[in-house]
Amino acid sequence: MASSARIYKGTPRNLALLARHLRKGGLVAVPTETVYGLAADATSREACLRIFAAKGRPADDPLIVHIASLADLGRIAVANPAALKLAKAFWPGPLTIVLPKTSSVPDEATSGLPSVAVRMPAHPLFRRLIRLAGVPLAAPSANPFGYVSPTTAAHVRKSLGSRIRHILDGGPSVIGLESTIVDLRNPLRPALLRPGAITRLQLSRVLGKPVTLARTARSGARLAPGQMKRHYSPLTPVVLHAGLTAQEAARGPADEAWLFLSRPAPTGRSRALPGNHFWLDEHGDLKRAARRLFSVLRQLDEKGFKRIHAERPSGGGIAEALLDRLVRASAI
């Protein structure tokens, strides 16, 4: 089906038009610093259901609600001192906090749970749109459920363009991975639900206590997005390898792709790398690798390889987030 979606630049006139569309219960794909999201009025049951329908998202996978200022937090969640500490340290930014919800958030947004996942995004266009709309905006990633997240407006139009009409272009996402999610319903036991650019160590330092890593939910409603075993997945099967080498890749089938964290050195006499060798960053910088991960996975998906062999990142910090996405992308 041909795309019917229009991509809008962030002009005052366009932002006003898109804000009106959101107030009427419509959908708008929006840029964030993490990935592109599919936004709708978080206080409207009907608008939230339109998100689930457009994405093909299961009803037990709750949405993240986005606000434009800290003053808006009390409208949708019951904050505690620990949550306010994190908000003041990391908002606006790529951190989502799970808290008890208020009655202004419908059950459709939270999969029937009494908690809500809330974030204040750093992308200025998105925050401006939230203010103009005058309502908090629910916005999961703007892609069919389970597929690789979009990091450009073009990605959104390619995968959702036949299901939505409006896409706000804010340039490529600067982080490229979804937000860190921390559960603070019980501030005495903070738990990391999804790793991201803000690390467990950073969270622990601000809170003054360890942040545990929560296990992947196996059944029932999940507290927040990104907890399914298989997620962020290209159509092409992904296989993870610890310590992937160019020599190993060179012996592999030519119709399978080999994805390294950094540019591998050529093997043998040739200085050229085979056409099925790819890398996330020239020098293995993990922040830049994270920014390119989803874009590269989409490119490899389109090239028709039978399989994608990916190098497994190790270590803490952003490596934990990269590994999380690759493990879920490769899950069967």
Q: What pLDDT is stored for residue 221 in this prediction? A: 59
DSSP assignment string, 41-74: ETT-HHHHHHHHHHHT--TTSPPEEE-SSGGGHH
Residues 6+ apart with CB under 8 A from 186: none
Examine the domain organization and report whether 244 and 146 are in the same domain: no
Cα 139 to Cα 170: distance, rounded to the nearest angstrom:
15
Asked whether residue 60 is assigned to any structural domain, the reply reads yes
Is there a single domain that holds both residue 88 and residue 42?
A: yes
Q: What does the pLDDT read at residue 153?
A: 98
Q: What is the pLDDT of residue 271?
A: 64
Residue-level pLDDT at 184: 97
244 in the same domain as 122: no
- Kindly state whether residues 242 and 204 are assigned to the same domain: no
Return the closest-CA partner of residue 16 out of 142, 138, 166, 123: 166
Does residue 320 lie within any of the structural domains?
yes
What's the pTM?
0.94
Quick one: the chain helix, strand, coil %, rounded to 5? Answer: 30, 20, 50
Q: Is 182 found in the same domain as 247?
A: no
* Integer Cα distance of 176 and 290 in angstroms: 6
Residue at 220 is within a domain? no
Which residue in this structure is represented by tokens 């927040």? 224
Same domain, 38 and 123: yes
With respect to residue 232, please indicate whether it lies within any of the assigned structural domains.
no
**Range of the structural domain that residue 145 is part of:** 6-213
Is 233 within a domain? no
Tell me, yes or no, whether 247 and 312 share the same domain.
Answer: yes
- Tell me: do 283 and 158 sit in the same domain: no
Alpha-carbon span 123 to 175, nearest angstrom: 11
Q: Where are the alpha helices (DSSP H) in 234-317?
A: 246-250, 286-302
List beta partners, residue 138. Answer: 40, 65
Encode the chain (332 residues) as per-residue pLDDT tens digits.
Answer: 566 899 999 999 999 999 999 999 999 999 999 999 999 999 999 999 999 999 999 999 999 999 999 999 999 999 999 999 999 999 999 999 999 999 999 999 999 999 999 999 999 999 999 999 999 999 999 999 999 999 999 999 999 999 999 999 999 999 999 999 999 999 999 999 999 999 999 999 999 999 998 865 554 557 888 777 888 899 999 999 998 888 888 888 999 999 999 998 876 665 667 889 999 999 999 999 999 999 999 999 999 999 999 999 998 899 999 999 999 999 97
Query: Residue 165 and residue 3: Cα distance in Å, rounded?
Result: 9
What does the pLDDT read at residue 272? 67
Q: Does any domain span residue 230?
A: no
Domain end (from 213, 229, 255) = 213
pLDDT at 269: 60
- Nearest residue to 160 (alpha-carbon basis) of 30, 48, 11: 30
For the record, the structure tokens of 110 come out as: 């939270």
Please tell me whether residues 66 and 107 are part of one structural domain.
Answer: yes
Distance CA 297, CA 279 (A): 11
Amino acid at position 56, single letter:
G
The domain tally of the chain equals 2
In terms of domains, do 149 and 39 share one? yes
If asked whether residues 202 and 295 sit together in one domain, one would say: no
CATH code of 113's domain:
3.90.870.10
Of 213, 247, 267, the last residue of a domain is: 213
Same-domain check for residues 176 and 262: no
